[in-house]
Amino acid sequence: MSTRSDQTRNRPDKQRPSKALVLQPAAVRTSQPSELLLKADEPETQRPSGVTRENADRGQRGSQTPPAGLPVQSAPTKSAQPSAGHTAGKQVAKLSSLLRSAEQEGSGKREKAGEWKSVISKYVNLYNKAETDQHYAALDDYIEDKDHCLRLRYRLERLRERDLYRGVLPARGETKAELIKVNESAAEVSVLVKLHIKRQMEQSGLYYLEERTEIERLWLNQSGGAWRIFRIEPVIAERRPRFGASEYTAAVEEELDQIREASVFRSTPFLNLDQYPQLKQRIKGIPYRRELAAAYADRWWNEGNPAYEEFEVNCTNYISQCLFAGHAPMNYTGKRESGWWYKGRSGGKEWWSYSWAVSNALTHYLSGKRNSGLHATVVQSVEELQLGDVITYDWNGDNRYQHSTIITAFDAAGMPLVNANTVPSRHRFWDYRDSYAWTEQTRYRFFHIADHF
């Protein structure tokens, strides 16, 4: 587009650590065919005897056990005993009848599942086209849930408007789907679908790849003998904060008061550090390894590190892990409402601070004035942020922060790209206007993490 260069911001003069994001250019703007991974449970009758579900999934046969034979009946008296051939014939006929009945039932279930799965497969393809084209029309004619169509329309319009302002175009899109839960009845099916979306973005002749995972619940029923999607409900996990935020706020204020009080009465001698460069280097403390924090974020963006507890709302737990991987020291107090620390779970009890796992609590902790340990400066502009810095999100404008991200890269204009984990995201544009969680009241807090602790 001719207006793209006019709308692209120049990269700030301040040098930031960056990451190589340039990809091979796509020849044309395309919508990659989607892939549907059907992982719903298959009927137990489909599994050969002696093969466990785990081994069957891996294509490995377990210990072979011959199928049990027919029940052995006590022999009747000679006068009443039928001929051996007659008995065997009746048993074979009965067994054949049972097998035919099971085959017909299984065939009917497979045919039904195949029909509604093909509807979902088409939906995923149309979803991918809508994401790539940034227009809802393809899906508007296919699904009957007009409330969701309106919700999708507003989201894609925000996305298109923002990307035009940035001078960015999606060069290629790809969406994969996984069925993670299926509930079937005679005339209705509800499915929980995980969508893995990849978008290759072009900006000023350079390319980068952004990824995210969304979860949607779909309801299907039969109308006129055909399956149709009549309701769609996105799972907006960024809007579900963990508990403990309110308890933390009062405690952190008390902790900061104690820090400020101690700093008033503490007497420290004046040292001209320019005369003692070796002492100046020593006083700096532990350096924040921003590249390590970003590398950890890229490694664990779409799964949980087994060394840590994984929460249903995991975004701040993930951010804290990234900061710790960058050598930010824990402030262990043993009290959940103070400090910034993690020990795990012991005896069914949770051993971590609210600031480690709750976005609102982390926001309050990083907003406090500290000179040691993990501390940060609140800056007014996103352009002031560097690799490994943190952004928290208040979706409702009520000063309660519900989501946290960490900066892992920059686009061609020098604007931050972030990672997150509750709704797994990698190299996503920082403002989240492409999320269903975003509202006109959304407010951000920008934290520049200290270079030394």
pLDDT in tens, 197-249: 999 999 999 999 999 999 999 999 998 889 999 999 999 988 866 554 444 44
pLDDT class for 34, splitting at 50, 70, 90? low
Which band of pLDDT confidence, cut at 50, 70 and 90, is reported for residue 260? very low
252 located within any domain: yes
Whether the CA torsion 119, 120, 121, 122 is positive or negative: it is positive
Model confidence pLDDT, tens digit, residues 393-409 = 999 999 999 999 999 99
pLDDT grade for 21, boundaries at 50, 70 and 90: low
* CA 270 – CA 200 distance, rounded (Å): 55
Judged against a pLDDT cut of 70, whether residue 102 lies above it is answered with no
Q: Is the pLDDT at 354 greater than 60, yes or no? A: yes
Could you tell me if 114 and 194 lie in one domain?
Answer: yes
Joined together, the tokens standing for residue 119 give 């509807």
For residues 219 and 121, state if they share a domain.
yes
Is the model's pLDDT at 48 over the cut of 50? no
Could you read off the pLDDT of 304-329 as tens digits, one per residue? 999 999 998 999 999 999 999 999 99
Residue 93's pLDDT band, with cuts at 50, 70 and 90, is low
Lowest mean per-residue pLDDT among 99-108, 272-281, 294-303, 367-376: 99-108
Residue 87 lies in a domain: no
297 and 398 share one domain: yes
Percent of the chain with pLDDT over 90: 58
Residue 270 and residue 405 in one domain: yes
Q: Average pLDDT, stretch 425-451?
A: 98
Q: Please report, rounded to a whole number, the percentage of residues in the chain having pLDDT higher than 70.
A: 65
Please state, in angstroms and rounded to a whole number, the distance separating the CA atoms of residues 123 and 129.
10
Say if residue 366 is in the same domain as residue 426.
yes
Other residues' Cβ atoms within 10 Å of the Cβ of residue 18 = 13
What pLDDT score does 2 carry?
A: 38
Residue 113 lies in a domain: yes
Give me the number of domains the chain comprises: 2
Are residues 371 and 248 part of one domain? yes
Residues 147 and 179 in one domain: yes
Q: In terms of domains, do 174 and 257 share one?
A: no
CATH code of the domain containing 204: 3.10.450
Q: For the residues 15-27, what does the mean pLDDT come to?
A: 45
Residue 276 lies in a domain: yes
Could you tell me if 335 and 440 lie in one domain?
A: yes
pLDDT average, residue stretch 362-380: 95
The per-residue pLDDT for 236 is 94
Query: Chain-wide mean pLDDT for the chain?
Result: 79
Q: Check residue 77 and give its pLDDT.
A: 44
Last residue in a domain, options 210, 235, 260 = 235
pLDDT computed for residue 285 by the predictor = 86
Give the domain range for residue 262. 239-449
Higher pLDDT, 116 or 106: 116
Q: What is the pLDDT of residues 143-186, one digit of tens each?
A: 899 999 999 999 999 999 999 999 999 999 999 999 999 999 88
Residue 48 placed within a domain? no
pLDDT at residue 83, as a whole number: 56
One domain for residues 287 and 428? yes
Domain boundary residue, one of 235, 270, 291: 235
What is the structure's pLDDT at 11? 41
pLDDT in tens, 129-145: 999 999 999 898 898 99
Boundary residue ending a domain (218, 235, 252): 235
Same-domain status, 278 and 162: no
Q: What predicted TM-score, i.e. pTM, was given to this entire model?
A: 0.73
Hey, what are 236's tokens? 């907006």
In a domain, 58, yes or no: no
Q: For residue 381, is it within any domain? A: yes
> For residues 110 and 137, what is the distance between their CA atoms, to the nearest angstrom?
32
In a domain? residue 180: yes
Do residues 363 and 251 both lie within one domain? yes
Tokens coding 257: 């008061």
pLDDT at 431: 98
Surface-to-core class of residue 116, CB atoms within 10 Å of its CB (0-12 exposed, 13-18 middle, 19+ buried)? buried
CA dihedral 234, 239, 242, 248 (to 10 degrees): 180
